[in-house]
Amino acid sequence: MRLGLCLSLVFCLLVIQASALSLGGSYENDLLTLLQKDGTVGLGDLNRLRLKFDHDFCDRLTVHLEPRYYGLLKSREIAIAGATDLDQLVWDRLYAKYRAENWSLTAGKQRIAWGTGSIWNPVDIFNPLVLSFAVRDDDKTNVEALRWELPLGEAGGIDAFVVTGQPWAETGRGIRVRGNTGMFDLALSYVDQGTLGRQVGFDLAGDIIKDVGVRGELAIKAGPDHNGYVMQAVAGGDYTLENGIGLNAEYYFNGLGSRNSGSYNWGTAESVGMDYLYLSGNKIIDEITTVTVSLLTNLDDQSYLIYPQYSRNVGQNLDLYVEGMWLGGPDGSEFVPPSSADPLGFGGSKMALARLVYSF
């Protein structure tokens, strides 16, 4: 019997015990304007309702349900990061978690987030592009899997998963062992995607000197589409000045990409450029207001994405975000791609967005 069916039965049981459910979620409204390179203006109004149900059947068994409804009013076709399924209901997370004395098992649609990079996570096969400045955590890709976690000591553990619902030869399965050395969190991982390839990963996060944080990831990949082995690596650091301005930088080497824009494989976002740099600065104006400016650039073709953001907690559970996005660079570059690689004409455009999020 499929896992989803089992979980549906569990959901029915939950409804029966509805009084014991804990319910939370958020409602979000995004009003956006898109000015495309050809002068076309697009308007959109995106509504997202996310519900989160949690129920503890007993001390050891918890069920988590997270449906999300998207509704988009739009003047024309608009691509929105994180919104791939519009005007429909999506089950983002739907899992049961069993906690034994020394381990736990999670079955169902869940989030498996590995790695330490803030923009790129090559060790995470489910979300290799994090783009944390633009894509909300709740919009990350989830996966139907069985996941086993074994905590070791205070700050270590083993995390293993098997993706369900696919033929064994093609299914993803992986294991990650992590620990702490005092200064650093370290992790070593191995993922086997059957006929799709294999990957060995390493990631770390910590401080080298006072107030300078560092993070890094290294993934060695082998697969039918690669000529032998390819490497992807991330190195990043951050620092906060005495005046409170936080600085963040991350370099990404993408062995799957190319340094020549004429050789880009436009089919996947992971196979475009080879060298990237991310820079950002943020200032907490007061306890409820933050301003952030981010720059992501493809060093190989000099294209860039500038992303300013103003955020304010305007009520106890109400957050306002005002954001802009400016894509630029030479014609044919990653952020101003040729029309054959950009059917929606998103490249080279400018966007302004006002977002209200109410949590309950």
Partner 1 sequence: MKRDWLALILLGGLGMGAWGITGEQIIRQVDSNMTFTTARSESRMVIHVDQEVREKTMRSYSRGQEASYSEFLTPARDQGVKYLKIKDNMWMYLPSVDKIIKISGAMLRQSMMGSDFSYEDALESTRLLEKYAATLAGEETLGGRVCYIIDLTAKVKEVTYFKRRVWIDKERFIPLREELFALSGKKLKEMTLGEVKRFGRRYYPTYLTMRNLLRANSRTELFTTRIEFDIAVDPKVFTQGNLTK
98 vs 253, beta carbon nearer partner 1: 98
Question: Minimum CB separation from partner 1 for residue 264, in Å?
Answer: 30
The Cα angle at residue 108 between residues 102 and 109, in degrees rounded to 5? 120
Q: How far is CA 52 from CA 28, 49, 91, in A?
A: 14, 10, 10
Residues between 106 and 145 that touch partner 1 (CB under 8 A): 110-113, 116, 136-138, 140
Do 220 and 141 contact (CB within 8 A), yes or no?
no
240 lines the binding site for partner 1 (CB under 8 A): yes
Q: CB-wise, 86 or 186, nearer to partner 1?
A: 186
Question: Which listed residue (206, 223, 255, 324) binds partner 1 by CB under 8 A?
Answer: 206
Q: Is 210 in the site for partner 1 (CB under 8 A)?
A: yes
Please identify which residue in 82, 194, 213, 255 interacts with partner 1, judged by CB under 8 A. 213
Nearest-approach distance from CB 91 to partner 1, in angstroms: 15
* Measured distance CA(116)–CA(210) in Å, rounded: 19
d(CA 188, CA 231): 15
Q: How far is the CB of 252 from partner 1 (least distance, A)?
A: 18
CA distances from 313 to 287, 290, 320, 322, 325 (A): 9, 9, 6, 12, 21
Mark the segment that binds partner 1 (CB under 8 A) among 13-21, 103-111, 220-228, 263-271.
103-111
Write the Ramachandran bin of 329: left for phi over 0, alpha for psi from -120 to 50, otherwise beta.
left
Told to check if 285 binds partner 1 by CB under 8 A, we report: yes
Residues contacting 329, CB < 8 A, separation 6+: 298, 301, 302, 303, 304, 335, 336, 348
The stretch among 12-20, 77-85, 253-261, 352-360 that binds partner 1 (CB under 8 A) is: 352-360
Residue 100 as a binder of partner 1 (CB under 8 A): the answer is no
Counting residues that bind partner 1 (by CB under 8 A) gives 54
40 touches partner 1 by CB under 8 A: no
Q: Does 13 bind partner 1 (CB under 8 A)?
A: no
List b or e across 163-199, with b for residues whose CB sees 16 or more CB atoms inside 10 angstroms. Answer: bbeeeeeebbbbebbbeeeeebbbbebebebeebbeb
Q: Which stretch binds partner 1 (CB under 8 A): 163-171, 271-279, 315-323, 326-334?
A: 315-323
Least Å distance between CB 258 and partner 1?
31
By CB under 8 A, residue 185 contacts partner 1? yes
Closest approach of Cβ 238 to partner 1, in Å? 4
Q: How far is the CB of 324 from partner 1 (least distance, A)?
A: 23
- Distance in angstroms (rounded) separating the CA atoms of residues 68 and 84: 12
Shorter beta-carbon distance to partner 1: residue 114 or 335? 114
Residue 272 CB, shortest distance to partner 1, in Å, is 25
Q: Which of residues 138-177 bind partner 1 (CB under 8 A)?
A: 138, 140, 149, 151, 153-157
Under the criterion CB under 8 A, does residue 82 sit at the interface with partner 1? no
286 touches partner 1 by CB under 8 A = yes
Give contact residues for partner 1 (rule: CB under 8 A): 24, 26, 99, 104, 110-113, 116, 136-138, 140, 149, 151, 153-157, 180, 182, 185, 205-207, 209-214, 237-240, 242-244, 246-248, 284-288, 313, 316-317, 319, 357, 359-360
